Amino acid sequence: MSTRQYEGTAVPAGIPADAGIDIGGTKIAALIVDEQGAVLARGSSPAPAREGGAAMADAAAALVTRLCIEAGASLRAAGVGAAGVVDHASGTIRAASETFVDWVGFPLADELSARLGVPVRIENDVNAFLLGEAAGRDDRDVLGVMLGTGVGGAIIVDGDLRHGPHGAAGEIGHTPGYSDLRCTCGQTGHLETLASGTSIGARYADRTGASLDSREVADRARTGDADAIAVFRDAGRALALACASAATLLDVPVAIVGGGVARAWDLLAPAVEETLRTDAPITGIPLRVIPASKGGDAVALGAIESARRAHAVPAY
């Protein structure tokens, strides 16, 4: 049996497969997927974000290698979805939150490729989320919105993920006009001031003085708390308005909404549906705004899709 060496660990040749890696500030999650799309192995490990890029690459490579051994998989390519502004052409991180030490400028794709012995593609995590959610759908034009700590966005047009000349296409969270509130970016009125997890908590605190996270505000809304219901109504309306604007500009008929806040879809949906009735694109696009369906796997699945497209690895 032929073997490939990784830091003294023999990886036996086995089932052809690809790895998807979701790198966040606290956790690295990975999937090993065969050519037909079946998940062969799944796992996670703590992200040593404060120890620098090399430590992160070591941890990701060790996780993938362990999962490949578990699954009897022979790796062909790997994709990474990473938080921050990603230069997918050079395979480096261009900007990231201060949680990540020695991460900006780190040649993540090259470093991981050297450790794993296969080509590696890196992609922004929201872009990867949308590729993962859109895979297997008939729609060739899809907007993605991630309602997490902040609000991220991504766009697929005619089947291709749009990066834009500055790698910033789809940044719907920092489009203006939704409130008079100061945004995390320093500007005023952005979608993020109403629809992020952080903002759900902050807007509830504005109304009541109570300091809760978005999940706790959701729990209160479900017990009939009028302030909590209003916070989600404002978030849902702003989300739908942003999606309607994007749909009108780009002729995109579906928006997929993920992230922690989207788990409270029951609370967002009434305002989303009402706003889609009152502010539908006048062009007649039958816009649907729907919750994500692939849960915690979406980023890793999309990272695999990105790697397969970039390296022309056959999926079937």
DSSP 8-state code for residue 50? G
Min separation Cβ 183 and Zn ion, Å:
3
Nearer to Zn ion by Cβ, of 54 and 185: the residue is 185
Shorter beta-carbon distance to Zn ion: residue 187 or 293? 187
Stretch of residues binding Zn ion (CB under 5 A), selected from 59-67, 81-89, 179-187, 299-307: 179-187
For residue 138, the minimal CB distance to Zn ion (Å) is 33
Of the pair 74, 184, the CB lying nearest Zn ion is at: 184
Interface region with Zn ion, contact rule CB under 5 A, candidates 25-33, 123-131, 171-179, 201-209: 171-179
Among 174, 233, 294, 308, interactor with Zn ion by CB under 5 A: 174
CA 221 to CA 225: how far, in whole Å?
5
Least separation, in Å, of the C-beta of 244 and Zn ion? 19
Q: What's 280's DSSP letter?
A: -
Closest CA to 132 of 254, 256, 16: 256
Q: Which amino acid is at 81?
A: G
**Beta strand 85-87 pairing with 142-147:** unpaired
d(CA 121, CA 308): 9
Strands 120-124 and 73-82: parallel
Q: Which residue is nearest to Zn ion (CB)?
A: 183
Nearer CB in complex with Zn ion: 237/308:
237
Minimal distance, residue 87 CB to Zn ion, in Å = 22
Give min distance, CB of 52 to Zn ion, in A. 29
Structure tokens at 199: 């903002």
Which one-letter amino acid corresponds to residue 236?
Answer: G
How many residues belong to the chain?
316
- Asked if 179 and 192 count as a contact pair (C-beta separation under 8 A), the reply is no
User: By three-state DSSP, how is residue 111 classified?
Assistant: helix
Q: State the nearest-atom distance from the C-beta of 189 to Zn ion, in Å.
A: 8
Q: How far apart are CB 175 and Zn ion at their closest, in Å?
A: 8
Place of tokens 């549906």: 273
Check residue 115 for interaction with Zn ion (CB under 5 A): no
Number of residues that bind Zn ion (CB under 5 A): 4
Nearer to Zn ion, 183 or 307 (CB): 183
Determine, following the binding rule CB under 5 A, whether residue 203 of this chain makes contact with Zn ion.
no
Kindly tell me which of 80 and 151 has the beta carbon lying closer to Zn ion: 151
CB 121 within 8 A of CB 306: yes
CB of 23 to Zn ion, least distance (A): 24
Check if the beta carbon of residue 11 is closer than 8 Å to that of residue 65: yes
Site string for Zn ion, 181-200 (x = CB under 5 A): --x-x----x----------
Choice between 174 and 263, CB closer to Zn ion = 174
Backbone angles phi, psi at 112, to 5 degrees: -70, -40
Give the residue among 189, 183, 150, 154 at the shortest CA–CA distance from 168: 154
From 11-19, 98-106, 168-176, 241-249, span contacting Zn ion (CB under 5 A): 168-176
* CB distance 139 to 157 below 8 Å: no
Of residues 24 and 153, the one with the C-beta less far from Zn ion:
153
Question: Which residues contribute to the site for Zn ion (CB under 5 A)?
Answer: 174, 183, 185, 190
